[in-house]
Structure 1
């Protein structure tokens, strides 16, 4: 899919709804205003530029001088510099990265598109404006990313943070289905695995790609999807996702 187009579209929407709303609190990011949200996104963009240019993640971030820039101006500058950097690089070029299986520019190309769509949803919620649906292809990709990279990889790499949730899962599975795809998350007792297929599950969530993506990132509640089976296992999955995406 065209991650550049997705990034640009959601960035433009983020700027649109942020304008005039900088002092509003962001309900999905407790303690933040929209100004804080915009500054965060800008700092993330600039961090990824450093990862790509230097080949390693910067040790001290963010640089203190970024705090002197007005949030929207900083966001616009960071987006411009990020898109220029991405356009100049191939997906298979190496880049500093916390995700060991794919330390490449291509990882960040995808990640920045997904980062931006979630945070423009945050800005829409803060502004109280109707939220634009996430296109199905971007949402399906985002579902796959959060399940396989944030949840499965993080649970294996930083296992101590997930021990209690994995034990509570007891090896049972939660299925998530949208638009012809169906993921199975097998939780515990010692590991967490994500596969796709038609195998039986103890609980299942179904909904549109947009709804499931928002649910996974805690930008929407259970009422936005259809939940069948054991609700306690769904709650355990929700708790594991909170740890993985905090």
Structure 2
């Protein structure tokens, strides 16, 4: 698997922002987004562009505390038809802000890494997943670069223990059972449920239950709940997989 740098994450995030803006441009922004219940394309765009601006403000200030995103003026256009262009602006200012700071510089984050580098990776995958949401809502083909998708699966597993707003995550424990996520492209992870926590590692080994998919892009959509693992081959204890997916939500 590719080992990413801060600059590569920032550049990939910019490319994904531009791509999402292109997907949305000229579309009916009232189209429902079924993978984000209760949202339409306008709210999806407003959320994603707002998160970019929130992250930029915190990175520029190297803040030691969380900024109140709801209290920030995001400069959202009055007409939802302008949301795609507004979203696309992030392809310029987001990497500029990220690259203006040392990736090791300490700052607030909600994940395990309290440094700037957390945000370049997080903004990449925040955008990828919501770009997929838009494409699924519009019924257009979903494609994700394999290196981006593999890093996205691993990022999901890295940050999941820190999702304090979902108390169900604390229940992801067990007696050594394993959940294996495998792609035909050669990427694979095994999640182990210990009595006090879960942990993951890169591995091509099968598990108590194993999901076998063609690509890391498939697995990324599975872990983020954008596709059902039933779309792929499942070997072993399907009940364990269902239990995991019911609790492992960000």
TM-score range, shorter chain: 0.7 to 0.9
Number of equivalent positions: 236
| Alignment partner of 2:243 out of 236, 242, 245 | 236
Quick check: 1:52–1:94 contact (8 Å CA) kept in 2? no
Which residue in the other structure is 2:34 paired with?
27
For normalisation by structure 1, the TM-score amounts to: 0.85
1:17-96 equivalences under 5 Å are: 17-19=23-25, 20-54=27-61, 55-63=63-71, 65-66=73-74, 68-70=76-78, 71-96=83-108
Quick check: 2:18–2:88 contact (8 Å CA) kept in 1? no
C-alpha separation in 2, matches of 1:105 and 1:23: 35
CA-CA distance at 1:96 after TM superposition? 1.8
CA RMSD in angstroms comes to 2.3
Greater shift after overlay, 24-33 or 10-19? 10-19
1:172-192 CA deviation, whole Å, 9 max, x = no partner? Answer: 111112232332112244321
For normalisation by structure 2, the TM-score amounts to: 0.84
Which residue in the other structure is 1:174 paired with?
179
Distance 1:200 1:51, change over 3 A: same
C-alpha separation in 1, matches of 2:218 and 2:177: 23
Structure 2: gaps of 5 or more residues? none
Structure 1: gaps of 5 or more residues? none
Quick check: 1:165–1:239 contact (8 Å CA) kept in 2? no
Distance 1:196 1:129, change over 3 A: closer
**SS of match in other structure, 1:176:** strand
Structure having the higher helix fraction is 1
